[in-house]
Amino acid sequence: MGYTLKLISEHIEQDTDYLIEAKEDGSKSYKIKGIFMQADIKNRNGRVYPMEVLNKEVKRYNKEYIGEKRAFGELVHPDGPTVNLERASHMITALYPDGKNYIGEAKILGTPMGNIVKNLMDEGAKLGVSSRGMGSLDQKNGANYVRNDFYLATAADIVADPSAPNAFVEGIMEGKEWIWNNGLIKEADVAEIKENIEDNSRKNNSKANSLEFAKFLQKL
């Protein structure tokens, strides 16, 4: 069995810089740069990411994702911890510490979602970034401290207004629990139902399977 983690996302309220450069062939290169994450600061969600927790996870993310050119983010948060390549809009190219902040850089891709971002940038839209990860929390000193099991899924999704209240999105995402099991991520309640159905099938208990499937339909 795996262990259960909460999906957590953080919006950075500082402005993100746009870098639009003309190429020799007449096309344009689009990039964003700014604060992607912050350590040892109680954020507006009441959470604190200790420096040692972020340092460890950013090093892993740099090695396994940025260094391998597979650190992608999406346009607007999805409702799960994994990055859907069909919705990828940018590739994160750098993530490094600057005091308590982690500065990130990203290249906007020529994907359908990336082209939407480019058009928004051309029109002067104000965009921000929001990190997405999984972890458990310790409540102390009036804040929720992110534990050492924190797993960074993406350093930055692109969002329209990171300073706006988004209780609906956070309610959907953070109300779910996820199971991390040997590198596989599954939604906790669905995973539990699937296990129960498989167990009942081994016992030839069709009535119990029907009840489990009904529970699954109620969650859709």
Name residue 19's beta-bridge partners.
31
Q: Rounded distance, CA 108 to CA 118, Å?
A: 7
Token pair for 151: 């797993």
Handedness of CA 176, 170, 8, 116 (dihedral sign): positive
Contact 39, 95 (CB under 8 A): no
Write down the catalytic residue from 9, 77, 89, 131: 77
Write down the catalytic residue from 9, 11, 89, 130: 130
| Three-state secondary-structure class, residue 52 | helix
Q: What residue type is assigned to position 152 of the chain?
A: L
Contact 154, 92 (CB under 8 A): yes
Known catalytic residue: 130? yes
Name residue 92's beta-bridge partners.
106
Known catalytic residue: 11? no
Residues annotated as catalytic are 77, 130
